[in-house]
Amino acid sequence: MQGSQTNMLDPRLNRRSLLKWTAAAAGGLAIGGRGFGLVQADPARVAAQGGTRTEGGRWVAVACWHNCGGRCLNKALVVDGVVVRQKTDDTHPDTPDFPQQRGCARGRSQRQQVLGADRLKYPMKRKHWEPGGGNKELRGKDEWVRISWEEALDIVASEIKRVKEQYGNKSIIMPRRGSKLINALGGGLESWGVTSDGAWPAVTAHMVGSQPVNDRLDWRNAKLLVLWGANPAWSSAGNPAYNLLQVKKAGAKIICVDPMYSATAQALADEWIPVRPGTDAALLIGMAYHMITNNLQDQAFLDKYTVGFDRDHMPEGADPKENFKDYVLGTYDGVPKTPEWASEICGIDPRTIRFFAQELATTKPAIMSSSSAPARTSLGQQFCQAFLTVGWMTGNVGISGGGVWQSYHTNASYSSQSLVRSGGTGAGNIPNPLFPYGTYGFSSPEKSDWYGMAHEEMYSAIINGEYTRGVNGKEKCDIRLLYCIRDSNGGNFLNQEAGINEGIEAMRKLDFIVTSDIVLSTVSKYADVVLPECTWWEKAGTTLSGNPEAIFVFGKVIEPLYEARDGMWIERELAKRLGLDPDEVHPLSREQQFFNQIAGARVMKPDGSGWEPLVTITEQDITALGVEGKPQQGRVSLQEFRERGVYQVERKPGDAFSGFIAHKAFRDDPEKNPLPTRSGKLEIHCQALSEKIAAYGFTTCPPIAMYRPPVDGYEATFKDFEHKVKGDYPLQLFTPHYPRRSHSVFDNIRQLREAFPQECWMNPVDAEPRGIVTGDTIKITSKCGTVIRPVEVTERVVPGTVALGEGAWVERDDETGIDKAGATNSLTRSLLTGQGEEPWNTVNCQVEKWTGEPLAPDVTWPQRIVF
Ligand SMILES: Nc1nc2c(c(=O)[nH]1)N[C@H]1C(S)=C(S)[C@@H](COP(=O)(O)OP(=O)(O)OC[C@H]3O[C@@H](n4cnc5c(=O)[nH]c(N)nc54)[C@H](O)[C@@H]3O)O[C@H]1N2
Ligand SMILES: Nc1nc2c(c(=O)[nH]1)N[C@H]1C(S)=C(S)[C@@H](COP(=O)(O)OP(=O)(O)OC[C@H]3O[C@@H](n4cnc5c(=O)[nH]c(N)nc54)[C@H](O)[C@@H]3O)O[C@H]1N2
Ligand SMILES: [Mo]
């Protein structure tokens, strides 16, 4: 089969234009043609496929485009059109100041993904599919039938047309983000909410305005670094953990606050504070008590730069009794929030709480840096509020070596100031006429023309025909069609959303489901029609930004595999069938978009005074590429940029960027440089936040940091908290981002399955009474589902908690309802909280020893190969 693929079906991506690119930019690399070296399940075959062939090959930069936050350099050795090997950054010697951008185990497995035997090869439909939702209960278990592109596109277009005409545009849902095609057709429903940042966005916006971060090299001036719920060694690919090692080497003490003794804590921490998930606000408030009663807070800082700390510094119009200090001391509610009070909730010994508070208040300068994991909890705002408040009490704002911020994903441990960035594609946007407001971070629940449901409410909206529309109350809906055709990231809607069991019920209720994908991921498995998409190895090329100090550029390495097509081509073809002009939906070719990204790339001038073009482009380049553009002078030639695959700003201590200090202008002159908050100051008491959260209509949020028991948190593991009698779900589950995968992506890769076995971690204190030892198969049950998994019994997790990495490809037995893959969303449930953030880390469960057949390692399971 390999090699029979031609590009005749896609005239815009023909061999001539490909050669133009490569001739102009990569020096005439011979690629495409025959034999893609498909990686079969059999490792011997992999080796036979050229594992040893290197002569005459050429290394080319290839994409790793997934949402792990890492932006790393990946290169493929192409020999005679076959990708035989991968390597990572060796473009310059590695130093801590100017590190190589090395890929991880996932990135280096990209060849196994792109060329995997389980790549989707042809358009296909469910065998018993009938128009209008026929045999929909068979979704997920029906057989697949190969169909032609013609038939597939006709089916999809006619279902879209039918649903639009019969039920209107609001019965089409595009989860998480819209589609240009559907928007051009009059729009559809979207879901919104905060998936990654937890409760942070509204808190940041109203309490401080924004959260800039000091330059990476300045972190080394800290004497103390507190990593609060942050595990960059697993969840920030690339250099973040290495950068933090430099902070340690420069002499900082490092404290990790985490329910898990994470790989980061193992490598860096001097102290581990083993907090229970979802109880951080209590811990922080207990620390505040120690600081206040020992007069350790930086009172001068609080008086000058903040509002709401004590009754004498309240924002205008606020009740003076609502100040933070009196809440902590229990002046009005009669409950002093002592370390003993906190300890009962968070599980940390009161002496440790005092010691930690003392250390934090007296070691200067100090950095407090958090990811969003503790904010991905029910009532997560309270963590964010308490974190900022206690941080500000130490006065570590606007100074070298000091800071209080959220920093994770692409820019963990980096400055928030980027030094090089890619240009836009210029492809433009088509706004959704039904949903004109932003869908990420926050939305505008106060507006009367605001539609669409929180991600967490999507399944119930499909099933029950109703969702919450902020201050507008309940909104009826009749959702019929799920549209998941997306470029480069389909979004694995079903696998990655809370409550998979409810999700499957919702999927089996819809009239029609279409996805585009590269593998049979969970959402595709439950669809009616699945369209095979090209990966970035098969498309004209792209740049990737995110890492503040480097951008990456990748071209096409192989022709589209089998019948895989570019997502843009799919939407153009559908547009024609729906009576739209494809050029209006997708006006720019991939080549032009790629060119625009490169031509628009900007790099910071060495003195930090502004941006300059990154890439030199000549008239000849433009002619050779057949794109529209103007010549320009930059720092590197197009050829050099493409050959290296990366442009990285060379850093050294003392350079113009290392002086970037977050909130320095505000610190220097708060009158002249007020913050964009209501008071212009840091708002410890923040009425605007309280109002914003109320507008969503899910939960309330007091204007100051207070601890209230979260839904499905620690307190909920008891049926009688006061007498400490445990309930039916006595353990807390949390779901870290796991090194096997980027969410669900790469879960199918066998070598990664072998290296990271998707094991569940539990403490001996909980395992022993249950007769559980390492290697056993255990059964984890929550209110919403059951999974079975191998267990690792370890003191690396807090007693009473269970850790399981998020993202495994659910494998549910329809008879028993048991998922043997350990997809954490088989256990989570939809919970509406705050601004629609998703509370992945507050879940209650029970664990038992599994008495059935022990689970075979998932590396031995059959791959999802359809054809
Ligand atoms: N390998 C890999 N890396 C990834 C991803 C991936 O899927 N795989 N996904 C990327 C994406 S999109 C995102 S959003 C980021 C997320 O990255 P992070 O925000 O770092 O999230 P997590 O890895 O879930 O959790 C970080 C740490 O917080 C701890 N933690 C969990 N709950 C709590 C709590 O209640 N309190 C405290 N104090 N700590 C807690 C966890 O044990 C873990 O050690 O990761 C990115 N990086
Ligand atoms: N329990 C729990 N759940 C979580 C989290 C958690 O911590 N705990 N974390 C949440 C977070 S932070 C995030 S960001 C979300 C992520 O949620 P999603 O974005 O839904 O997850 P991914 O697995 O990244 O989805 C990518 C999908 O795109 C497909 N794909 C990959 N490459 C291509 C391509 O080139 N073309 C096309 N068409 N498709 C492609 C993959 O097969 C996959 O189905 O998950 C959330 N879910
Ligand atoms: Mo995320």
CATH number for the domain that contains residue 320? 3.40.228.10
Position 452 scores a pLDDT of 80
Does residue 378 fall inside a structural domain? Answer: yes
Tell me the C-alpha distance between 426 and 417, whole Å.
Answer: 23
Nearest ligand to the CA atom of 527: 2
pTM of the model: 0.94
Cβ-contact 809, 747 below 8 angstroms: yes
Cβ-contact 483, 523 below 8 angstroms: no
Position 32 scores a pLDDT of 31
Does residue 804 fall inside a structural domain? Answer: yes
Nearest ligand to the CA atom of 409: 1
Position 53 scores a pLDDT of 59
Cβ-contact 805, 340 below 8 angstroms: no
Position 443 scores a pLDDT of 66
Residue with CA closest to ligand 1 atom 15: 409
Position 484 scores a pLDDT of 95
Position 448 scores a pLDDT of 72
Element (H, E) at 46: helix 43-46
Question: Taking CA 373 as the corner, what is the angle to CA 747 and CA 397, rounded to the nearest 5 degrees?
Answer: 135
Q: Which residues, by Cβ under 5 Å, contact ligand 3, an ion?
A: 196
Domain count of the chain? 2
Q: Which residues of the chain have pLDDT under 70?
A: 1-54, 438-443
Domain that holds residue 830: 715-866
Question: Taking CA 735 as the corner, what is the angle to CA 732 and CA 738, rounded to the nearest 5 degrees?
Answer: 150
Position 25 scores a pLDDT of 34
Look-up of token digits 């979207």: 190
Nearest ligand to the CA atom of 491: 2
Position 6 scores a pLDDT of 28
Q: Which of 279, 283, 272 is nearest to 230 (CA)?
A: 272
Q: Choose the final residue of a domain: 353, 384, 417.
A: 417
Atom of ligand 2 nearest to the CA of 534: 35
Q: What is the CATH number of the domain that holds 792?
A: 2.40.40.20
> Which of 110, 409, 496, 526 to probe ligand 2 with, by most ligand atoms within 8 A of CB?
496
For residue 611, list its beta bridge partners: 604
Tell me the C-alpha distance between 29 and 19, whole Å.
Answer: 8
For residue 466, list its beta bridge partners: 476
Does residue 677's CB lie within 6 angstroms of at least one atom of ligand 2?
no
Q: Choose the final residue of a domain: 368, 400, 417.
A: 417
Does residue 50 fall inside a structural domain? Answer: no
Position 46 scores a pLDDT of 38
Tell me the C-alpha distance between 762 and 15, whole Å.
Answer: 54
Does residue 112 fall inside a structural domain? Answer: no
For residue 306, list its beta bridge partners: 682
Residue with CA closest to ligand 2 atom 31: 489
Does residue 375 fall inside a structural domain? Answer: yes
Tell me the C-alpha distance between 693 and 203, whole Å.
Answer: 9
Position 680 scores a pLDDT of 98
Element (H, E) at 157: helix 149-167
Position 534 scores a pLDDT of 96
Cβ-contact 537, 63 below 8 angstroms: yes
Does residue 828's CB lie within 6 angstroms of at least one atom of ligand 2?
yes
Tell me the C-alpha distance between 789 and 777, whole Å.
Answer: 5
Six token digits for residue 60: 């080319």
Does residue 763 fall inside a structural domain? Answer: yes
Position 440 scores a pLDDT of 54
Contacts 24+ apart (CB under 8 A), 607-610: 607/656, 608/656, 608/657
> Which of 72, 371, 742 to probe ligand 1 with, by most ligand atoms within 8 A of CB?
371
Position 70 scores a pLDDT of 81
SS3 category, 154:
helix
The ligand 1 site (C-beta within 6 Å) comprises 67-69, 196, 228-231, 234-237, 257-260, 262, 275, 277-278, 280, 371-374, 377, 408-409, 734, 736-739, 741-743, 807, 841
For residue 542, list its beta bridge partners: 554
Q: Choose the final residue of a domain: 388, 417, 446.
A: 417
Does residue 335 fall inside a structural domain? Answer: yes
Does residue 265 fall inside a structural domain? Answer: yes
Position 4 scores a pLDDT of 29
